[in-house]
Structure 1
Amino acid sequence: MSRLLLSRALRAACAAVLLGAGPAAADVCAAGADLVVSAADPAPVADGGSTLLNPVVTNAGGTATAVPFTLYVHLPPGVVGTGKSSGATCATLPHGHTVACTVPAGLAPGASVTAEVRISVASGMDHEVLEGNVEAALPDDPTPDNNSRTFKITII
């Protein structure tokens, strides 16, 4: 289902709740799930080596996630990744520069999911600092500005 259709479906479901439960339910629908992404820089890595990135997604909202969402780890050229998580299903997308971890609906308020992404650096890379990005995609997140985080990969 596209994000637009999913967004419309969620608004329609919330409207139905409001009609049936009255004004008190408005706060529940307004609070919604709010994903917050954090990702500390991984340990420095030698060219041809690998290191781990452990991005975390926390639901800082007032309700559980109503639909599945995806955590994406975008890696720069020369770097590929593989991922796993006990709370999500992870897959490496074609070319290896993006790892996508899908988290099922129902992440409770205050709960977190951590992914483990093994980052492998190509041989022969210069000593430099590269940037990657972690983002969570959830339709109707009330504060999308905290849904992504940049991290640095230091090649030694």
Structure 2
Amino acid sequence: MRRWSILAIGLGVGLFAGSQLASSRAQQTALWAGVAATVVGLVMFAASQPDSPDPEAAEGTTFAGLGPRVEQLLKLAEEQAADHLRQAEKDARKVRARVEAGLWVVLRQGDDGARYEVARLESRSDADSVVAALEARGHLQRYSVAPAGGE
């Protein structure tokens, strides 16, 4: 910020001096005085620049302590991922238990000979009732009951 202030002051002095000289002398002399003042401002600006930039001295760009913070964030992410994985495995066990609890499946045989699952039920009598209701509709498809997992 300080360097830009010096540059602005140098340019302002050059413009002010040029305008003052223009009113009292020839325009050509005023122009060269303004150029000289601008050059002085630029030299002052260049002189205020550091010779070799020091990364530690740069404003707002310090990386001290970044390593431990990154490690802390990665550890937290790993813990959250493990929690999500445990919850997903728990949910999968619940879904699998519900699916496996349906011990009987109702199957429909398509025109192409392939068998398609229509329903999964907990008892053979429930499955037989579904087959009877489907066949009572008068469709030409054939329905059957089979144990789950043994289709």
TM-score range, shorter chain: under 0.3
Q: Which structure shows the bigger proportion of residues in strand conformation?
A: 1
Rg bigger for which structure?
2
TM-score normalised over the length of structure 1 = 0.22
What's the TM-score, normalizing by structure 2?
A: 0.23
- More contact order relative to length (CA 8 Å, sep ≥ 6): 1
Structure having the higher helix fraction is 2
